[in-house]
Amino acid sequence: MILGRLVFFIDGDSSIGLQRGLILTTGFAEEATEPGSVWASNANISGSIQPELTAIATESLDDVAYFRITFRPLSDSIRFRYVFASDEYPEFACSPFNDIFGFFLSGPNPSGGDYNDLNIALIPGTNLPVAINNLHPNNPNYAPCPPLNEQYYHDNEDSSVQPVYDGFTDIFIAEASVVPCATYEMVIAIADVQDSAYDSGVFLEAKSLESNVEVFTSLEVGEAIIPEVAIADTISFSFSDVPASVLPLQINIIGTALNGIDYQSIDSITFINSPGEIVHFVIQPIPDSLNEQIETVEFIISSTAGNGCIMKTFTLYIADPDSLYSPTDTVLLSFNGTAVLSVSPTVVSNNTWSFSNTTPQQIAPIVTLIQSDIEVEIPFDVLHDISTLESVCFNIQHGWDDDLDIYLMAPNGHFVELSTDNGSNGDNYTNTCFSPSASLDIRGGFPFAPATAAPFSGSFQPEGLWSEILGTPISGTWKLGVVDDFNNFTGTLLDWTITFSTYQLGNFEYRWSTGDSSASLLVNAPGNYSVTVSNQVGSFSKLFVVKEGSVGTQTPLMQEQAFRLLPNPSTGETSLLLDKNLKVNALKVYDLNGILLLEQNSVGPILGAGSLPNGVYIVTLECAEGIFVQKMLRW
């Protein structure tokens, strides 16, 4: 996200060794990703004063850029990975133009006293700050200037690859010992020295501020849901790198599901007294006839020392069974001698939730982030599995697409870069969607998508990583952020929609007595057919007793008996399994807004269904006997 001297970068593995993160620079951050054959020499005119950096500099500072954060570490050490780079390299080593970087830490020192602006950005094996004159190759321009710490230096002068800077360092690690759960302040700062010419920058790796305490659980991502009718499995927690100062740890079990009423009674508080301890829980649901939809069991792991610094929360969901669930069902073969047996683990399985903002918003002024909000409220509190986010779709009217930078922002402030500077002089984003299931990158294999890619109609993978928003709350305010980073053209965000789905929720497996493994089974003979539905937290079984139908006397009284869609969900064409007594007049497919998409007067495959985007559709069968309705799912 562009914020003047701070910008998000991705795909840095091949150039500097860091895949993604932030650039902090003394010039313009946008130029830092140009090739090394280009000069970067701009005054950022920040006007900032940074006393911590002044204290270790050799001359006066210009173009200071910094950011300050306050945090509470969870373990006894912190680490941060970064790369320092500069266009002062290599000509100005040993000169007064000694651009410098610092990483200043303040807070309690575990050895006693406090850190007061302690610089932990040092050249490995030395006490030297990271600066041009402390790490460089031989420089005849300011002779004598022999190499110093040259083993950490990478020459990029006149290079055709990124970054723009003529030289940069190895990946360095800033680290320090800390007191777990205490409050610390960090200032990360960089500056030109002596003058504002020839920029320097530091690449800060995303999510590399580590505190090492880890909690492991047997709950796999996306599997933390158990049907109310299931037999529970064991849920385990284990720990590593837990400092003695935060022991014992405490696990509190709370949530909307009531201990001893909605699940068999267990201890609501458990203590962990050693780092290697493993704790096991069995959350056995107690079935009832109440319509409770979704209930939660939350495991809150916190330290009893250090002001109760909470480490992590895990949520298990107990869901009502599908409304049609019974342990045994009797099914009659239809007139063509077949029957469809299907099982849905929970009442929320195969559901979707869509939320939209249809209020147009001008993308102005330039170089300013505008945000369009959508309030989301669905039964699940955390985005554990990215497939739960089905799509983000929008329409933007703009006459020069590569002026636009577009982001999805989660309720906790984390964001995914959707598209930046794509489309050259092409116009608009029209029915543009981003989806974890999409196969196409928005850039289409280019560094930036060309004008011919506009208006980007279809479904794409974003430039950023979906994993950036894993763990975010689902319910809350989601934002679509757009920046117009150049003058001359203006535009408007017309509307946008975010859709969540539970098609994959629970990662359930289906094991039929026939050996099949799908949620639905087509059979053509009487008999008993059983299925076991399971995931890592529970399982249940269901028996279908299939009998011969009464040929010539049955009438299609129920929707489920009138026709079936196979396969459903589908990735291609969908066919109908039809009661042969029905006299069909028309078959129609609508979207969830009631707009007619397809119509045909014959049964068989639904012609054109394979071209429909992923989503939920309504199929109606208009017959002499009435109108029959089914949902059709595409993914």
Render pLDDT for 80-117 as a digit per residue (tens, 0 to 9): 899 999 999 999 999 999 999 999 999 999 999 999 99
Is the model more confident about 35 or about 433? 433
List the one residue out of 249, 242, 178 whose CA is nearest residue 213.
242
List the one residue out of 225, 352, 434 whose CA is nearest residue 632.
352
Grade residue 592 by pLDDT with cuts at 50, 70 and 90.
Answer: low
CA 199 to CA 100: how far, in whole Å? Answer: 11
Comparing 128-137, 395-404, 468-477, 553-562, the range with the smallest average pLDDT is 553-562
Distances (CA, A) of 26 to 124, 174, 189, 192: 24, 20, 10, 6
pLDDT of residue 342: 83
Structural domain boundaries in the chain: 6-205, 214-319, 352-501, 562-635
Residues 208-233 pLDDT 10s: 666 656 777 877 766 788 998 899 88
> What's the token pair of residue 584?
């069909």
pLDDT of residue 30: 59
pLDDT of residue 176: 92
Segment 40-59 mean pLDDT: 75
Grade residue 247 by pLDDT with cuts at 50, 70 and 90.
Answer: confident
pLDDT over 50 at 606, yes or no: yes
CA 578 to CA 208: how far, in whole Å? Answer: 57
Matching CATH topology for 214-319 and 352-501? no
Segment 51-73 mean pLDDT: 85
pLDDT over 80 at 200, yes or no: yes
Segment 600-606 mean pLDDT: 77
Is the model more confident about 432 or about 59? 432
Q: Which amino acid is at 608?
A: G
% of the chain beyond a pLDDT of 90: 35
Q: Of the segments 42-56, 257-271, 548-562, which one has the largest average pLDDT value? A: 257-271
> What's the token pair of residue 171?
């990946």
Question: CA geometry: angle at 414 spanning 410 and 419, to 5°?
Answer: 85
pLDDT over 90 at 536, yes or no: no
Grade residue 18 by pLDDT with cuts at 50, 70 and 90.
Answer: confident
CA 614 to CA 617: how far, in whole Å? Answer: 9
List the one residue out of 469, 475, 480 whose CA is nearest residue 373.
480
**Strand pairing category for 415-420 and 404-409:** antiparallel
φ/ψ (deg, to 5) at 526: -60, 160
User: What stretch of H or E contains 53?
Assistant: helix 51-54
**CATH fold for the domain made of 562-635:** Immunoglobulin-like (2.60.40)
User: What stretch of H or E contains 561?
Assistant: helix 559-562
Is the model more confident about 235 or about 579? 235
Grade residue 574 by pLDDT with cuts at 50, 70 and 90.
Answer: confident
Is the model more confident about 549 or about 596? 596
Q: Of the segments 31-35, 359-363, 617-621, which one has the largest average pLDDT value? A: 359-363
CA 469 to CA 507: how far, in whole Å? Answer: 20
pLDDT of residue 47: 61
Grade residue 31 by pLDDT with cuts at 50, 70 and 90.
Answer: low
Q: Of the segments 42-46, 324-328, 540-544, 593-597, which one has the largest average pLDDT value? A: 540-544
Segment 344-352 mean pLDDT: 82
pLDDT over 70 at 620, yes or no: yes
CB of 107 within 8 A of CB of 183? yes
CA 587 to CA 575: how far, in whole Å? Answer: 12
Is the model more confident about 455 or about 322? 455
Grade residue 367 by pLDDT with cuts at 50, 70 and 90.
Answer: confident
φ/ψ (deg, to 5) at 337: 80, 20
CA 34 to CA 9: how far, in whole Å? Answer: 12
pLDDT of residue 398: 96
CA 134 to CA 300: how far, in whole Å? Answer: 47
Euclidean distance between the first and final Cα of the chain, in Å?
A: 31
Q: Of the segments 52-56, 75-79, 489-493, which one has the largest average pLDDT value? A: 489-493
Superfamily of domain 352-501 in CATH is: Galactose-binding domain-like (2.60.120.260)
pLDDT of residue 79: 87
pLDDT of residue 284: 93
Mean per-residue pLDDT of the chain: 84
**Number of residues that this document lists for the chain:** 635
pLDDT of residue 593: 63
Q: Which residues contact 289 (CB under 8 A, 6 or more apart)?
A: none
DSSP 244: G
pTM value? 0.63
pLDDT of residue 55: 87
* CATH class of the domain comprising 214-319: mainly beta
> What's the token pair of residue 75?
């373990």
% of the chain beyond a pLDDT of 70: 88
DSSP string over 117-158: EEE--B-TTSS-BEEGGGSB---GGGSS---BSGGGEEE-TT
